Amino acid sequence: MPFHDVSISGDLIHTRQAVLSGIGYTVLIYGAEQRSLTDADILVATQAVAETYRTLISGIYYEKPPDNPVAAGLYAALAKFLENEKKHQAEHTESPALKDLEVFQLLVFFLRFGRLRSNGRPRTRAFIEFLRAQFPIEAGAAKQEPRIIIP
């Protein structure tokens, strides 16, 4: 289990459900652009972003993106989404601002859930397929209309 020393409250998952869904949706959007994305890439990128937030909580900004180019691209996409989400939450006062600790815990939850949904094989896409089932609009948007013109 990754980050076995971290405990996550169910209340956080409930209150920050939109952010957690945004993480999954960001993975799907990136996966639509990068067809070679696998579950292993998702897990590596998510763990790297979580490590970045873990060091950020302690007051140190240290980033170490993955070496794999596909995972590094997902790392950048997740980091951009999370920064935009933090800015959005800070601008809107109806909900409390998103804290780095909360982001870290959400990433750990997403990582643990991804490990549970993935079968552990190097090229598996089981977790990606699970995410696609959770966001059916994304699957419908990927369909193109037929290119045959019938008079």
Reported as a single tens digit per residue, the pLDDT across 47-60 is: 999 999 999 999 88
145 lies in some domain? no
CA distance linking residue 97 with residue 90, whole number of Å:
5
pLDDT at 138: 44
151 lies in some domain? no
Could you read off the pLDDT of 32-49 as tens digits, one per residue? 899 899 999 999 999 999
Number of domains in the chain: 1
DSSP state of 95: S
84 lies in some domain? yes
80 lies in some domain? yes
148 lies in some domain? no
pLDDT at 150: 62
H helix intervals, the chain: 10-15, 17-33, 39-57, 69-91, 100-117, 126-134, 136-142
pLDDT at 140: 46
144 lies in some domain? no
CA distance linking residue 90 with residue 37, whole number of Å:
32
pLDDT at 139: 44
Expressed as residue numbers, the domain containing 90 is 10-139
CA distance linking residue 42 with residue 44, whole number of Å:
6
Question: Which residues of the chain fall short of a pLDDT of 70?
Answer: 137-151
